[in-house]
Amino acid sequence: MEYQAGDFDVIVIGAGHAGCEAALAAARKGLETLLLTINLDSVAMMPCNPAIGGTGKGQLVREIDALGGEMGRNIDATMIQVKMLNTGKGPAVHSLRAQADKKAYQQRMKEVIEHQEHLILRQQEAVELTAENGRITGVKVRTGAVYGCGACVIATGTYLKGKIFIGDVSYDGGPNGLFPAEELSGSLKDLGFPLQRFKTGTPARVDKKSLDFTKMIVQPGDEKIVPFSFENDRIDIEQVPCWLTYTNPEAHQIIMDNLDRSPLYTGDVTGIGPRYCPSIETKVMRFADKNRHQIFIEPEGLNTNEMYVQGMSSCLPEDVQIAVYRCVPGMEDVEFMRSAYAIEYDCIYPTDLTASLESKRIAGLFFAGQINGTSGYEEAGAQGIVAGINAADYVLGQEPLILSRADGYTGVLIDDIITKGTLEPYRMMTSRAEYRLLLREDNAAPRLTPLGSEHGLISDARWEHFLAKQKQIDEEIYRLKHLIVKPGEASAKILESLSASPLQNGISFEELLRRPEITYENSRGLDPERPELSEWVTQQVEVRIKYDGYIKKQLQQVERFKKLERKRLPEQIDYSDIKGLRIEAAEKLTEIRPATMGQASRISGVSPADISVIQIYLESLKK
């Protein structure tokens, strides 16, 4: 029986990585917020890999942190190993990745939520959304309670009509053995949202006691630990190792002999899986010429024997999984603690959303995370903080936070899914960001902290800390511009030790630092009066000097991009009425309803000629 259980400014459905960031953002902006989760044990759960960050993803975590989110602080407090990836390449693609103690990560995030003012965490399954006059008004839960709201964020992850597949065994279920959400999909359909079916999967968790690490290659963490959060200058922990091993032809043959038992190939799984994180059976089929694939053994925490087998995601029958795993060196006697499985779930078409992640169908209704067709904890968290900020701003009657492709990876992610849609789980990669030299992981704070402060998510202490560091960067660059290094025996000796040619004339230290063999650190002997600065400050100084020319070129590209973004398109424009516009383009533009000319130009099926036709049409309207 229904009953009114209270009113909130913002209700967030789902307490995964998107829901946690959304709820914290809304509450920190002072709005009364309710966070609903199907199970309190699922708060910030890591149902797949026990890690945060990675290529393209580390940038998202830094951006969440810069906006005032929690993910960076949480992984800094619970990491057990950390590595900076892509260090052999330029700073544009450097990406931090940390192994987490999964339970500690969950517990700390839950504690943060429980202690956050204006935020209530409650174990309830949302079953129905209520709306009046095109606006969200409330959420009904399974017990019959109805909560009123001014705005709502849906962040249900992989729970909507979740279905588990292990060989020919299938059953309704959420990740990690939790219950699925069976009824909310129907409510979304009733409100006019078409749904699509996606799939993801996870490998087995195996018992550490059953592994022979002498047959594997140890993978230690970096000697120097780099924090994710701008609030932390250093982290000191004793890191635990991971291990590397490989599959082999014997394992591949077992997979090939049993493909007819995999639901991926029998047709039982209809959901579309992630291209960039395929199952082991898909890898063996797709890369038939490869006789081995990398397998990383990663600890799930400091106080558990569960080990995550990265690279062996599968939904083969359990007996086949065990046979395949036992072919891998070091895993000959492996014992499973949890079997690998695939999970299918409902998600929306993200082209139904605006750049604020608000629904075009129901005002005040926002979506974040895997329900938008994305994959990964980091992609979810980035959407979550944007959706939470904007849900709060909607209630407050303020302008939403809109991040463009030139603002950050978060802007790229949101623009990609709302403009192009996604036919498979979307994963962030550095190659998706056309301005990646400007959107580096190391400069997320200068890019986005002012926005986080503007939206009330940056403390006064952190803001002062940020301003102080910015001042140090500017002062040091100014000093290096005016510091002249003169030729002579002393400088020649130092330069020779660095395999650098001697000076013929005096040059500024800034110019000297542009030489590829010279770094801020190894040139200390040429600058005896150098001030003591934090590693982050010196990194910013060096990157800004070394890449100055490239950065200026990208800034020019961004300015051209912004000109198109500033050209707003009328909301009620009738594209079918524009003469000369191709039918395909008119249909796509009518479906997506782009907000700007720039967004229109990125829609698949809309050509540069179509954009010119629209521009001429808009000019004629002005006349």
Q: 270-301, pLDDT tens digit by residue?
A: 878 788 788 999 999 989 899 999 999 999 99
Instruction: Give pLDDT tens digits for 47-82.
Output: 999 999 999 999 999 999 999 999 999 999 999 999
Query: Which among 217, 218, 235 has a CA at the least distance from the CA of 226?
Result: 235
Q: Is residue 554 very low, low, confident or very high in pLDDT (cuts 50, 70, 90)?
A: very high
CB 421 within 8 A of CB 353: no
Q: Is residue 125 very low, low, confident or very high in pLDDT (cuts 50, 70, 90)?
A: very high
What share of the chain has pLDDT > 90, as a percent?
87
Cα separation, 143 vs 2, whole angstroms: 8
Q: What is the DSSP letter of 359?
A: B
Q: Which two tokens stand for residue 383?
A: 């959407």
How much is the average pLDDT of 198-222? 97
How much is the average pLDDT of 490-503? 89
Q: Is residue 269 very low, low, confident or very high in pLDDT (cuts 50, 70, 90)?
A: confident
How much is the average pLDDT of 571-583? 89
Q: Is residue 442 very low, low, confident or very high in pLDDT (cuts 50, 70, 90)?
A: very high
Tally of CB atoms within 10 A around 135: 13
Per-residue 3-state assignment (H helix, E strand, C coil) for 542-580 = HHHHHCHHHHHHHHHHHHHHHHHHCCECCCCCCHHHCCC
CA distances from 146 to 8, 140, 141, 368, 601 (A): 11, 4, 6, 22, 43
The separation between the first and the last C-alpha atoms of the chain, rounded to the nearest angstrom, is 60
Q: Where are the alpha helices (DSSP H) in 397-547?
A: 409-420, 444-454, 460-482, 489-497, 509-513, 535-546
Q: Is residue 268 very low, low, confident or very high in pLDDT (cuts 50, 70, 90)?
A: confident
CB 555 within 8 A of CB 549: no
Beta bridge partners of residue 245, listed in sequence order: 295
Q: Is residue 267 very low, low, confident or very high in pLDDT (cuts 50, 70, 90)?
A: confident
pLDDT of residue 274: 81
Cα separation, 507 vs 587, whole angstroms: 60
- Which one-letter amino acid corresponds to residue 593? R
CB 67 within 8 A of CB 326: no
- Residue 621 pLDDT greater than 90, yes or no: no
pLDDT of residue 619: 86
CA distances from 209 to 87, 150, 221, 311, 336 (A): 34, 52, 22, 20, 11
| Gyration radius (Cα) of the chain, Å | 26
pLDDT of residue 264: 80
pLDDT of residue 365: 98
Higher confidence at residue 525 or residue 32?
32
Cα separation, 366 vs 346, whole angstroms: 16
Q: Is residue 461 very low, low, confident or very high in pLDDT (cuts 50, 70, 90)?
A: very high
How much is the average pLDDT of 196-207? 96
- 201's enclosing H/E stretch is strand 195-202
pLDDT of residue 59: 98
Instruction: Give pLDDT tens digits for 97-120.
Output: 999 999 999 999 999 999 999 999
How much is the average pLDDT of 590-613? 91
- Residue 215 pLDDT greater than 90, yes or no: yes
- Which one-letter amino acid corresponds to residue 578? I
pLDDT of residue 107: 98
Q: Give the three-class secondary structure for 239.
A: coil
Cα separation, 352 vs 292, whole angstroms: 42
Instruction: Give pLDDT tens digits for 86-103.
Output: 999 999 999 999 999 999
CB 128 within 8 A of CB 189: no
- Residue 376 pLDDT greater than 80, yes or no: yes
Mean residue pLDDT of the chain comes to: 95
Q: What is the DSSP letter of 16?
A: S
CB 406 within 8 A of CB 54: no
- Residue 266 pLDDT greater than 90, yes or no: no
Q: Which two tokens stand for residue 238?
A: 């004793």
CB 56 within 8 A of CB 409: yes
**Burial of residue 127, with CB atoms counted within 10 A of its CB: 0-12 exposed, 13-18 middle, 19 or more buried:** middle
Q: What is the DSSP letter of 328?
A: S
Q: Give the three-class secondary structure for 17.
A: helix
Q: Give the three-class secondary structure for 395.
A: helix
- 110's enclosing H/E stretch is helix 102-115
- Residue 623 pLDDT greater than 80, yes or no: no
Q: Is residue 390 very low, low, confident or very high in pLDDT (cuts 50, 70, 90)?
A: very high
Beta bridge partners of residue 309, listed in sequence order: 297
Higher confidence at residue 30 or residue 617?
30
Quote the pTM value.
0.95
Q: How would DSSP label each residue in 581-612? A: --HHHHHHHHHH--SBHHHHHTSTT--HHHHH
Our CA angle for 120, 122, 126, nearest 5°, is 120
Give residues with Cβ within 8 angstroms of 135, minimum separation 6: 362, 363, 364
How much is the average pLDDT of 198-207? 96
- 616's enclosing H/E stretch is helix 608-622
**Burial of residue 454, with CB atoms counted within 10 A of its CB: 0-12 exposed, 13-18 middle, 19 or more buried:** exposed
Q: Is residue 466 very low, low, confident or very high in pLDDT (cuts 50, 70, 90)?
A: very high
Higher confidence at residue 273 or residue 6?
6
CB 469 within 8 A of CB 459: no
Give residues with Cβ within 8 angstroms of 228, minimum separation 6: 52, 53, 58, 61, 62, 65, 71, 72, 73, 75, 76, 96, 98
Q: Is residue 345 very low, low, confident or very high in pLDDT (cuts 50, 70, 90)?
A: very high
pLDDT of residue 173: 96
424: left (phi over 0), alpha (psi -120 to 50) or beta: beta
Furthest CA-CA distance within the chain: 89
Tally of CB atoms within 10 A around 481: 13
pLDDT of residue 326: 98
pLDDT of residue 270: 80
